[in-house]
Amino acid sequence: MLKGGKVGLRARYEEDIPILRTELYDDVVNSSRSEGQPWRPIPPSARDSRLTADDDDRSRVPFSVVELDGGTLIGTATLWGIDTHNRYAHLGLGLLPSARGKGYGTDVVAVLCYYGFVVRSLHRLQIETLADNAAMLGSAERNGFVREGVLRSSAWVMGEFLDEVLLGLLARDWKPGPAVRPTAL
Ligand SMILES: CC(C)(COP(=O)(O)OP(=O)(O)OC[C@H]1O[C@@H](n2cnc3c(N)ncnc32)[C@H](O)[C@@H]1OP(=O)(O)O)[C@@H](O)C(=O)NCCC(=O)NCCS
């Protein structure tokens, strides 16, 4: 388990799956805005990569996010597209609606940076998000990510093309927060 100031990142448990399906992935608008692909329902029996962790896929590390205080599940965090030659990866996160706007997202990004830079020895981390996603932009920029460009009309979202922002952070520019630490469960 990796701990930040408010959140813990741990493995995906079986009991997380129905909560994530109902509260995150059944939400058509949120899924369409977050996933870069058309929403489709996930049948209860499906071993869908958004929900289950495929341990054989070394390019993707999915975490479940829990509140440190009490251990309640509050969302997902993923290091994906891990490229061990160029030593970069992408960050992805999604919090349950009740957990948004409380500073958890900023903390999750801090812990993913620790995992990417310290545990995985990566050199660069990047985030792509819709240009109107103020909470994601804020979570990234609080952790030192800088806007590197706008991908104009790059995302088809619920009937319209929207701009995406590309943000990057290099290991040499990263200032680790004192709160992030690895720990045994
Ligand atoms: C994006 C997300 C992970 C951010 O996490 P969060 O916990 O809500 O964000 P935080 O509370 O840490 O806030 C981060 C910053 O954004 C600001 N912010 C938060 N919600 C906001 C909102 N709705 N509108 C404007 N600003 C907002 C905060 O004030 C904070 O800014 P500050 O550091 O200057 O104070 C979360 O909102 C979420 O899961 N959203 C739905 C899924 C999603 O969009 N995922 C990202 C796909 S790329």
Q: Which residue has the tokens 């061990």?
A: 84
- What is the rounded average pLDDT of the residues 78-87? 97
Atom 27 (ligand 1) nearest CA: 135
Can you give the residue ranges of every domain in the chain?
2-182
- What is the rounded average pLDDT of the residues 19-26? 93
DSSP per residue over the chain, as a string?
Answer: -EE-SSEEEEPPPTTHHHHHIIIIIT-HHHHHHHHSS------TT---TTTS--TT-TT-EEEEEEETTT--EEEEEEEEEEETTTTEEEEEEEE-GGGTTSSHHHHHHHHHHHIIIIIS--SEEEEEEETT-HHHHHHHHHTT-EEEEEEEEEEEETTEEEEEEEEEEEGGG----TT-EE---
- What is the rounded average pLDDT of the residues 82-108? 98
10 Å CB burial of residue 111 (0-12, 13-18, 19+) is: buried
Q: Domain 2-182: give its CATH superfamily.
A: Gcn5-related N-acetyltransferase (GNAT) (3.40.630.30)
Please give all residues whose beta carbon lies within 6 A of any atom in ligand 1, as ranges. 30, 34, 93-95, 100-106, 129, 133-136, 138-139, 142
Task: Please tell me the distance between residue 13's alpha carbon and the centre of ligand 1 in angstroms.
Answer: 25
Task: Please tell me the distance between residue 45's alpha carbon and the centre of ligand 1 in angstroms.
Answer: 31
Angle at alpha carbon of residue 132, lines to 18 and 125, rounded to 5°: 70
- The pLDDT value recorded for residue 52 is 83
- Reported as a single tens digit per residue, the pLDDT across 120-161 is 999 999 999 999 999 999 999 999 999 999 999 999 999 999
- The pLDDT value recorded for residue 185 is 46
- The pLDDT value recorded for residue 47 is 78
The answer to whether 53 and 80 are in contact (CB under 8 A) is no
Please tell me the pTM assigned to this model: 0.95
Ligand 1 atom with least separation from CA of 130: 48
Ligand 1 atom with least separation from CA of 137: 16
Task: Please tell me the distance between residue 88's alpha carbon and the centre of ligand 1 in angstroms.
Answer: 24
- The pLDDT value recorded for residue 177 is 80
Angle at alpha carbon of residue 185, lines to 172 and 103, rounded to 5°: 55
Ligand 1 atom with least separation from CA of 102: 11
- The pLDDT value recorded for residue 184 is 55
Task: Please tell me the distance between residue 139's alpha carbon and the centre of ligand 1 in angstroms.
Answer: 6
The answer to whether 126 and 96 are in contact (CB under 8 A) is no
